Structure 1
């Protein structure tokens, strides 16, 4: 072989190896899917490598308060979330050290080598929809979520959407434990404030696995740590075993719940994170996770009321993890009492009768403590924890643990208006003043009047603070209500390992596909008949059209820009024309189907304006071409104040009453050509957005001449018709 041929062969091999590395990297990249049909938006990555939860999803569209679905204030799950599995067995770790216990940890923040320790089974990670994912086509462009549209459809699915995955724990080091998870979400408005996670832990080895523990931890509620408010939590469920035996004095749930509390180091009252300037509460949500079911043993699948065997919380940085702790320390954390030194005086360790004990397996807040007395920088945020076991597992045995993430909050308008009526102590708020509460606030659970219309509340008045806190703390009652629904739904259903059906009289209808068209002086909407084909959704009686509510701009107050009902049409209609528009404005819509029980389909699947660039999904009605354009064409504003225009988006200099197609040439008074605009949209308007020359120089003050030359089509030939006019630029 010649030297040149050898070189060519070597280069070819290197290119092939590089290609294979690239392909393998793509193949091995972990997928991400979401449960996105309800108010609680949940993300679970392949291999349990990332978890996320946002709530309420609809609040993300109140754009003057929140920046969108990724807004920090709606993020209800810190990345310190995941599960631990511990077994008693002798083994040697990758570093050569021998252990009598082995622990696997699926927690992206607490485990550096998660992809080696918890390894996904190839090809098992999938998301399923009960109905085909709806199309969203706007002005001829397909804006459908192509990933979701490619996911498999199963009309017999227990829920409206489900994610399934399977992973092996320490597969190269003989642990012999496999974890499967089915994650369920429903679009029904009574059941969309929680998602259910069904875990099945299986002994896949050919040996017994003794004293197996399954731990679950999550830092629910809240923004990133160490911001201008504190994250607190508590466990309720110590005496659930009594309740399960019929003693109604026992705790009725097994739930860890958390909330955004006040930080005493802040200048103002930071509970629920009020905006320091406008006052509205940005984080009034409560969230947490509740136990729905835990097997008594591999041979007894009935719910064990004495599980979890350990529950409560850790301060986030003091929670042991595989980054720094040994397997022995991790196993002790799963199976032994809480460290009495962590945390301090506000916590109580107790037995299953609420008797305080240094060996207590339950950590709860001490009765009567005031969280405002503690500093978040020393106490840290709380990471909720539950541990289940010990299970004795023969080869092939499995146990099932079912948990639901759950959330609840006061209405968005209350969060805005009560916050604006409360003097919170931040100096910025004083600049803009307070706004009296515009309505009565009535407790939805008791009917009691809580705050009267016209009220102004003050941080300096302890009674006002208690009143404001009582309204925000309704979020706790909501989260308990939603958790109770999740428990009742699970116990009354026959769902197991992705099979069966949740016990609902009727499901929420399928979301219809949406087709939108920006037309002259109107927006045309059309939709599909998917809901009418949904056999588990009852009879469809009507469709509802919602539009993004455009309030007049106000410089001194936040406005909620959520969607409002625009129209209702009978089920026989599949088209609506919106004529209540302003030319050039951007409009966003969603359409729901309503069944004979009044249940609506999910608002989130066909909603426009949800892309990364929101304006890409806007429908913008235009002015039609003017048949008498030679007489009526006009440029606005005239004069054009360039400095003033910088205050408004787009800095538009606009021609109105144009022909469908034309060239617009702009000249100086001395006849120099400044710019040419090709108008090919077929509408009667066009803008000169940049106001620059051919050489990209900004235009100067002065008088300009425009010449409009009609064309016989887009990029066509001149028809011979022209119009000439002038405009003035002031800089």
Structure 2
């Protein structure tokens, strides 16, 4: 919405403005980001809070450790002191520099929230939970789970051996868990896991991961949000948000509207790569990144991407808001999709191995969307499923979904009316105004969707079920399907492949535009999941595998046959027939390469040795169980014929394959094979070597995937390494004491850890502290070129 229109509505309302600002400060002071939970089961990772927002609040540095619609999900930009406690303490971190952490994460939002608009006794009021700090009438609550349908749901899941705190509890609700109580401002949402290693979901009509939050607004309106996610490869490109509003007050609430505020953006990694990171947030201070196209299918004159082959008719009645990357005016290069070029990579946007992406790899290929799945009891679309129809929810008096947008011009310069201090009556009128035409050109906007009006008597409830959904062309390109598995390769494998094709600008844009079709396909999968009452074909169980290195400095993967003993309740029999081992040498989100398939033979323990893994290099692994193909499927009234075509094909032709999106399914911190200790090394009977030598970050083959780290190999298992400059100054001291290893790393830091060393010639002296060779020395030299 234009600034001039907001000014037109501004009017008086200064007292209201003062109250708003006061309330925002109060909410800010009370807000505790540690009281949030991170949803990581699907490819869409997000953070939820009982204050009713998701992600973070715009430009609030205290919240930048939160996930913000990260797709594909990854370990991004964490800050140890600010990190909520339900991710990094499970899986560890990559120990990257601050700048690298801030550059990598593919965030698609700077925070999202909910709107409640009331008009009681002539007083118009608007409440919000985000992306700005909550209005003064917003208060967190603790959901009464013992009296909810989820009372008997859940499994107590714990960190596996691959994590850093083995045995630490991850889910916080399951039968026997203690319900939350006490200060609601410090209470985390409930997190329920309907999954664990080597079993199928115990509750067949429930999602795999469930989060529940509760929030109270003015007039005692209570919002209960239930968020759902799956790792199933046909249902992992979205999360579903089930939102119930209840009038727990004593007043009739006529002409009440409910809405959603979103800040969709594609994406922070693309912006960082070309223009530099924004401190681990999306703050719009990189003007070159403000180049998205925004579309709302309910807007006057809506038209989709002209290159996708879709028409407005394909979007009829879907009410979907979405964004996709355009071409910035800040560069001579055509940059739709942010194609990677090492010559254009901003030093403030790089991270270890970022330069390994082929030239032309699209960094921002996603279509990011938001759409309703249900909000009424009858009609041609968006009708409640059987479970919700039985609850007696009040219908809106209109089937229209309103949509508005507000331009983000730059850091703290956004046209949203809340940020501009518009008064309450004016806010109500702005948000209930007719839908706006889409922006005519690229940019970045904040947007809303408004539902209503509702007339709610005391005790009445309304419900809106929505989905955050993503898609990219690799989801639907036939050439991206792996003929060995029948499944599409992951996003990063596809994106690297696009780069390797060497497409010109027009061809690249044509390919990327097919992401619009993928967006609608994935939305249809979300719609099916909801309509079916969350009865979807069971994906094979997660495999709990161990990963380490053997005596030959190769990575060794092992796991038991427990998954193949799991009984699939849909068929009453065990159906796991194989295991597939995938490897990535880039990051923990891919690209994934299938390196081995092993038949399930009830072997007790399986072992895979990656003989192609090289000491010092980074490797990430994922083991997926594979189920046999099926010729029938039904869950209640839902049958095989009702499944979306792609889901039906995977179930019946190739057989389902386990997921790779969730951290439970993979190695999250890259592994580096290491040289084992030996008698020769302990006795210093061979020369200690520095690898690589010479070292260079920029030259191929002279670093470990771009990491500023080198290895001393052939060491006694206990020794001291002293490093000197060519002038004889001591640069660093490294103490190695590990009875299993004959090597150690140096991260190119000086001995005071105050800075990185410079290019030049260096000498080293290794002094053995092993009994058999105590005091024996080994000397050498190496060259750094940075």
- Structure-2-length-normalised TM-score: 0.61
SS in 2 for 1:606: helix
Choose which of 281, 285, 297 in structure 2 pairs with 1:236: 297
SS in 1 for 2:242: strand
CA distance in 1 between partners of 2:504 and 2:220 (Å): 60
SS in 2 for 1:48: coil
Contact 2:396 2:454 in 1 (8 A): no
Deviation at 1:403, TM superposition (A): 0.8
Q: Does structure 1 residue 621 correspond to structure 2 residue 657?
A: no
Contact 1:588 1:619 in 2 (8 A): no
Choose which of 210, 216, 219 in structure 2 pairs with 1:162: 210
CA distance in 1 between partners of 2:732 and 2:245 (Å): 69
SS in 1 for 2:51: helix
Contact 1:161 1:186 in 2 (8 A): yes
Q: Does structure 1 residue 682 correspond to structure 2 residue 739?
A: yes
Change beyond 3 A, Cα 1:149–1:452 = closer
Deviation at 1:488, TM superposition (A): 3.0
SS in 2 for 1:490: helix
Q: Does structure 1 residue 526 correspond to structure 2 residue 558?
A: yes
CA distance in 1 between partners of 2:415 and 2:665 (Å): 42
- Corresponding residue for residue 635 of structure 1: 688
- Corresponding residue for residue 365 of structure 2: 284
Choose which of 555, 558, 563 in structure 1 pairs with 2:592: 563
Contact 1:40 1:192 in 2 (8 A): yes
Deviation at 1:724, TM superposition (A): 6.1
Change beyond 3 A, Cα 1:562–1:628 = closer
Within a 5 Å distance, the mapping from 1:531-542 to structure 2 comes to 532-533=565-566, 535-536=568-569, 539-542=575-578
- Corresponding residue for residue 515 of structure 1: 546
Choose which of 324, 330, 337 in structure 1 pairs with 2:421: 324
CA distance in 1 between partners of 2:684 and 2:366 (Å): 59
Unpaired runs of 5+ residues, structure 2, are 1-28, 56-67, 78-93, 174-190, 195-201, 268-281, 301-312, 345-358, 379-388, 409-413, 481-487, 489-496, 630-654
Within a 5 Å distance, the mapping from 1:305-384 to structure 2 comes to 307-316=399-408, 317-321=414-418, 324-337=421-434, 362-365=435-438, 371=440, 374=441, 380-384=443-447
Q: Does structure 1 residue 592 correspond to structure 2 residue 628?
A: no
How big is each residue's C-alpha offset from its partner over 1:219-241, in whole Å with a ceiling of 9 and x where there is no partner?
223244333441222222479xx
Change beyond 3 A, Cα 1:294–1:137 = same
Q: Does structure 1 residue 268 correspond to structure 2 residue 333?
A: yes
- Corresponding residue for residue 37 of structure 1: 41
Contact 1:547 1:566 in 2 (8 A): yes
- Corresponding residue for residue 579 of structure 2: 543
Deviation at 1:36, TM superposition (A): 1.2
Q: Does structure 1 residue 121 correspond to structure 2 residue 194?
A: no
- Structure-1-length-normalised TM-score: 0.65
Q: Does structure 1 residue 102 correspond to structure 2 residue 122?
A: no
- Corresponding residue for residue 519 of structure 2: 479
- Corresponding residue for residue 258 of structure 1: 323
Change beyond 3 A, Cα 1:198–1:43 = same
Deviation at 1:177, TM superposition (A): 1.0
Q: Does structure 1 residue 84 correspond to structure 2 residue 100?
A: no
Deviation at 1:674, TM superposition (A): 12
Deviation at 1:477, TM superposition (A): 0.8
SS in 1 for 2:688: strand
Contact 1:229 1:262 in 2 (8 A): no
Contact 1:639 1:728 in 2 (8 A): no
How big is each residue's C-alpha offset from its partner over 1:66-91, in whole Å with a ceiling of 9 and x where there is no partner?
x9897577222232x2221112213x
Change beyond 3 A, Cα 1:489–1:608 = closer
Within a 5 Å distance, the mapping from 1:12-27 to structure 2 comes to none
Contact 2:76 2:105 in 1 (8 A): no
How big is each residue's C-alpha offset from its partner over 1:251-296, in whole Å with a ceiling of 9 and x where there is no partner?
1522112212223454232322334634432212111111111125
Deviation at 1:40, TM superposition (A): 1.8
Change beyond 3 A, Cα 1:393–1:546 = same
Unpaired runs of 5+ residues, structure 1, are 1-24, 91-98, 240-247, 338-361, 418-441, 443-450, 460-464, 494-501, 552-558, 712-717
Contact 1:666 1:707 in 2 (8 A): no
How big is each residue's C-alpha offset from its partner over 1:489-537, in whole Å with a ceiling of 9 and x where there is no partner?
32232xxxxxxxx121x22233233332333213333336367447558
Contact 1:130 1:160 in 2 (8 A): no
Deviation at 1:722, TM superposition (A): 8.2
CA distance in 2 between partners of 1:193 and 1:539 (Å): 25
Contact 2:371 2:467 in 1 (8 A): yes
Contact 1:85 1:214 in 2 (8 A): yes
Change beyond 3 A, Cα 1:473–1:683 = same
CA distance in 2 between partners of 1:232 and 1:547 (Å): 35
Contact 1:645 1:652 in 2 (8 A): no
Q: Does structure 1 residue 605 correspond to structure 2 residue 653?
A: no
Contact 2:476 2:518 in 1 (8 A): no
How big is each residue's C-alpha offset from its partner over 1:695-726, in whole Å with a ceiling of 9 and x where there is no partner?
999999899876646x4xxxxxx347886655
* Matched pairs, number: 575
- Corresponding residue for residue 409 of structure 1: 472
Change beyond 3 A, Cα 1:594–1:663 = same
Contact 1:73 1:283 in 2 (8 A): no
SS in 1 for 2:161: strand
Q: Does structure 1 residue 397 correspond to structure 2 residue 430?
A: no
CA distance in 1 between partners of 2:753 and 2:565 (Å): 55
CA distance in 1 between partners of 2:416 and 2:116 (Å): 15
Contact 2:616 2:711 in 1 (8 A): no
Q: Which moved more, 1:645-654 or 1:510-519?
A: 645-654
CA distance in 1 between partners of 2:744 and 2:314 (Å): 70
Contact 2:319 2:401 in 1 (8 A): no
Deviation at 1:58, TM superposition (A): 6.7
- Corresponding residue for residue 89 of structure 2: none
Deviation at 1:166, TM superposition (A): 1.1
Deviation at 1:677, TM superposition (A): 7.0
Contact 2:691 2:713 in 1 (8 A): no
SS in 2 for 1:472: helix
SS in 2 for 1:57: coil
CA distance in 1 between partners of 2:763 and 2:259 (Å): 75
Change beyond 3 A, Cα 1:664–1:257 = closer
Structure possessing the higher radius of gyration over alpha carbons: 1
Q: Does structure 1 residue 577 correspond to structure 2 residue 609?
A: yes
Contact 1:581 1:621 in 2 (8 A): no
Deviation at 1:203, TM superposition (A): 0.7
Q: Which moved more, 1:194-203 or 1:676-685?
A: 676-685
Change beyond 3 A, Cα 1:153–1:481 = closer
Within a 5 Å distance, the mapping from 1:55-74 to structure 2 comes to 55-57=71-73, 74=106
SS in 2 for 1:137: coil
RMSD: 5.1
Deviation at 1:579, TM superposition (A): 3.5
CA distance in 2 between partners of 1:394 and 1:541 (Å): 55
Contact 1:30 1:46 in 2 (8 A): no
Which is richer in strand?
1
